[in-house]
A and B are shown apart, each in its own frame.
Chain A
Amino acid sequence: MKNILLLLLALLLALAFGAMAGHDWASPARLVSALSGDGSLQSQLLMVWRLPRVLAAALVGALLGLGGAIFQGVFRNPLAEPYLLGSSGGAAIGATVALLVPLGLPVGPALAGLSFLGAWGATWLVLAIAGLHGRPDTAGLLLAGVAIAAMLGALRSFLMLALSDDTVNLQVVLSWTLGGIQTPDMTGLLLLAGLVIAALASSLRLARGLDLLGLGEEQAFAFGLDPQRFIKLAVLVGAGIVAAAVAYGGLVAFVGLIAPHLARWWAGPRHAAMLPASALIGAAIVCACDGIARAVLPPAEVPLGLITALFGGPFFLLLLARRLRA
């Protein structure tokens, strides 16, 4: 409990930083007076534009933290990550098709459905190639993921070049590729919050199964799990969470790797404690990185995916080096 409270405090600090950061920095005093509803123009801008975006960043981060934790649990590998495994790339392809191909469907449901199908399909492909049975080894998993992610990236670029004659859509798709939180309206924000609650609830239902799977497939079976059925269910839930994260935040690399790692270190390996911790850490990371993205090159905005990759890349290499040495 103390562990979770400290993480909540860290998230609050990250939210405050996110709310202050930008090409026009807001002081803590300005933030407090805006929150108390002083009605000035600056406060209104803060409340209408910046705060929803900061909250959206935190919620997308929570989704990435949960998605990463589920994927690491299913693959039984601490280097598994939705971005590296091509799941995010799959979701982005789905989103690209929904936006650029005239399917005759309403954009909202088509975007959600195709993002999910893309994430799910790409994850299954990696699982099938890297070895569904037994414990997929790190090299096989990452190589399969890198190959699939590269192919999906090329396909996405091709679709963008071939199909786009509408500059607005192209811009949206491009922002997806680089990762970036859009400022949502109230309905969008509430929907995202609902998605995070659903994601957390369904992740927690997987907690015991993920714990058992961590003992190895054979031992998990002996302890009363049907591993094949469970893996199918967990991949379905993980793909749904990744698709939601991609739909709102685009391709944000490495958060799904770092958050579960820190969560395991902070709360231990049992998933009932580690999943909420990973969501909170993911939320804090994306919130802080989104603040940096807005503040570092004013008045321009650096893509969020670039910031997370700059921090996350070295972290990943460090983990990989440690694992290879072991």
Chain B
Amino acid sequence: MTGIECRSIRVEAGGKRLLDDVSLAFARGTLTGLVGPNGAGKSTLLRVLAGYRRPDAGQVFWQERDLVSWLAAGRGAVGGYLPQQLEPAWNYSVEEIVALGASRSPAPRPVAELLAEHGLVELAGRRWNVLSGGERARTMLAATVAPGPSIILADEPGASLDIRHRLDLVHRLQRLSREAVVVVIMHDLDLAARFCDRIIVMNGGIVAADGEASAVIAGPALEEIFRVRFQRAVLAPDADWVISTTPNGA
């Protein structure tokens, strides 16, 4: 397979087991949502999959090759990591950040072309400190996917965005997943249910449920893990979002 695989991953910190014997495989052409309560081990798992965090036990394979045997430059060109938020030390412009993202490819695409592709031409010279949350997210996405990575890992990239921008971002990730392995941490179960092909529910450092998105959403795991009762509703074809109200209309 051309995706990612992790085998028997164990990560410990401060005497606590953050991940316990996690084995998963991710294939190309699938948008996978990682969900679970706070402290479930989602971000740790994503960092292990990205290679940033070395597990205490277990192995990670990218395209069937042990991740530790990848050279940093090759790993950077094949993979893309989209953080929850970025705080650069220097006030880079949009163009400079996209250029940095593109520079990890052995044959970088022209920055002007990338800016046009992501609708960032007018923002090219704008500096990071004056960008809105949505503009920052688009910039980071453009930089991340610039070399056409075949592996994209995203840590809740839409968390600070409004609904329009969040939907826009998930649409883009969905499109990217046709050609690449895309694994995204999502707190928004509604978005995960609607856009992901596969949902993995993490809890207490283990995989609590894993399967086709519709099956996981319909199953009992979410109620048990989040300790919340959900109402499942079907979105009308002409709607983008559901706003629920309480019986007295408040």
Besides A213-B89, A221-B52, A222-B76, 7 more A-B contacts (Cβ < 8 Å) are A214-B88, A215-B86, A216-B83, A221-B51, A223-B143, A224-B77, A269-B92
Give the shortest distance, in Å, between B80 (CB) and chain A (any CB): 7
Interface Cβ pair total, 8 Å cutoff: 71
Q: Which of A78, A212, A221, A226 contacts B100 (CB 8 A)?
A: A212
- Name which residue of chain A comes closest to B103, CB basis: A208
What interface size band does chain B fall in? 20 to 34
Q: Are B83 and A218 in contact (CB under 8 A)?
A: yes
Determine if A268 is an interface residue (Cβ-Cβ < 8 Å).
yes
- Name which residue of chain A comes closest to B47, CB basis: A218
Give the shortest distance, in Å, between B98 (CB) and chain A (any CB): 12
Q: How far is the CA of A76 from the CA of B89 in the complex (A)?
A: 6
Determine if A30 is an interface residue (Cβ-Cβ < 8 Å).
no
Q: How far is the CA of A17 from the CA of B79 in the complex (A)?
A: 53
- Name which residue of chain A comes closest to B149, CB basis: A222
Q: Are B100 and A222 in contact (CB under 8 A)?
A: no
Determine if A225 is an interface residue (Cβ-Cβ < 8 Å).
yes
Q: Are A264 and B90 in contact (CB under 8 A)?
A: yes
Kindly list chain B residues whose C-beta atoms are within 8 Å of the C-beta of A229. Answer: 72
Q: Are B50 and A215 in contact (CB under 8 A)?
A: no
Determine if B41 is an interface residue (Cβ-Cβ < 8 Å).
no
Determine if B91 is an interface residue (Cβ-Cβ < 8 Å).
yes
Contacts A212-B100, A215-B97, A218-B52 given: A224-B89 contact, CB under 8 Å? no
Interface centre among B77, B80, B83, B100 (most CB of A within 10 A): B100
Q: Are B86 and A222 in contact (CB under 8 A)?
A: no
Q: Are A222 and B87 in contact (CB under 8 A)?
A: no
Q: Are B104 and A223 in contact (CB under 8 A)?
A: yes
Give the shortest distance, in Å, between B1 (CB) and chain A (any CB): 22
What interface size band does chain A fall in? 20 to 34
Q: Are B83 and A219 in contact (CB under 8 A)?
A: yes
Q: Are B52 and A270 in contact (CB under 8 A)?
A: no
Q: How far is the CA of A270 from the CA of B92 in the complex (A)?
A: 8
Determine if B75 is an interface residue (Cβ-Cβ < 8 Å).
yes
Determine if A77 is an interface residue (Cβ-Cβ < 8 Å).
yes
Kindly list chain A residues whose C-beta atoms are within 8 Å of the C-beta of B51. Answer: 221
Interface centre among A76, A135, A215, A264 (most CB of B within 10 A): A215
In the A-B complex, the 4 residue pairs with the smallest Cβ-Cβ separation, listed nearest first, are: A224-B76, A222-B81, A269-B90, A76-B89
Kindly list chain A residues whose C-beta atoms are within 8 Å of the C-beta of B79. Answer: 222
Q: How far is the CA of A264 from the CA of B88 in the complex (A)?
A: 14
Give A contacts to B, CB under 8 Å: 76-78, 135, 208, 211-216, 218-219, 221-226, 229, 264, 268-270
Q: Are A211 and B100 in contact (CB under 8 A)?
A: yes
Per-position 1/0 for B60-90, Cβ under 8 A of A: 0000000000001111110111010011111
Give B contacts to A, CB under 8 Å: 47, 50-52, 72-77, 79-81, 83, 86-93, 96-97, 100-101, 103-104, 143-144
Give the shortest distance, in Å, between B130 (CB) and chain A (any CB): 14
Q: How far is the CA of A215 from the CA of B103 in the complex (A)?
A: 14
Q: Are B73 and A224 in contact (CB under 8 A)?
A: yes
| 7 interchain pairs, CB-CB under 8 A | A211-B100, A215-B92, A218-B83, A224-B74, A224-B76, A226-B72, A268-B93
Kindly list chain A residues whose C-beta atoms are within 8 Å of the C-beta of B87. Answer: 135, 216
Q: Are A224 and B104 in contact (CB under 8 A)?
A: yes
- Name which residue of chain A comes closest to B104, CB basis: A224
Kindly list chain A residues whose C-beta atoms are within 8 Å of the C-beta of B47. Answer: 218
Kindly list chain B residues whose C-beta atoms are within 8 Å of the C-beta of A216. Answer: 83, 86-89
Q: How far is the CA of A324 from the CA of B90 in the complex (A)?
A: 16
Kindly list chain B residues whose C-beta atoms are within 8 Å of the C-beta of A78. Answer: 89
Give the shortest distance, in Å, between A237 (CB) and chain B (any CB): 18
Kindly list chain A residues whose C-beta atoms are within 8 Å of the C-beta of B144. Answer: 222
Q: How far is the CA of A264 from the CA of B83 in the complex (A)?
A: 26
Kindly list chain A residues whose C-beta atoms are within 8 Å of the C-beta of B86. Answer: 215-216, 219
Kindly list chain A residues whose C-beta atoms are within 8 Å of the C-beta of B91. Answer: 269
- Name which residue of chain B comes closest to A72, CB basis: B89
Give the shortest distance, in Å, between A70 (CB) and chain B (any CB): 14
Give the shortest distance, in Å, between A32 (CB) and chain B (any CB): 42
Contacts A211-B100, A218-B83 given: A223-B76 contact, CB under 8 Å? yes
Give the shortest distance, in Å, between B154 (CB) and chain A (any CB): 11
Q: How far is the CA of A76 from the CA of B88 in the complex (A)?
A: 9
- Name which residue of chain B comes closest to A76, CB basis: B89
Q: Which of B89, B93, B96, B101 contacts A223 (CB 8 A)?
A: B101
Kindly list chain A residues whose C-beta atoms are within 8 Å of the C-beta of B52. Answer: 218, 221-222
Kindly list chain A residues whose C-beta atoms are within 8 Å of the C-beta of B75. Answer: 224
Kindly list chain B residues whose C-beta atoms are within 8 Å of the C-beta of A211. Answer: 96, 100
Interface centre among A218, A224, A229 (most CB of B within 10 A): A224
Q: How far is the CA of A242 from the CA of B80 in the complex (A)?
A: 36
Q: Which of B81, B92, B103, B143 contacts A214 (CB 8 A)?
A: B92
Q: Which of B80, B81, B143 contacts A218 (CB 8 A)?
A: B81
Contacts A76-B89, A208-B103, A216-B87 given: A270-B96 contact, CB under 8 Å? yes
Kindly list chain A residues whose C-beta atoms are within 8 Å of the C-beta of B93. Answer: 268
- Name which residue of chain B comes closest to A224, CB basis: B76
Kindly list chain A residues whose C-beta atoms are within 8 Å of the C-beta of B143. Answer: 223
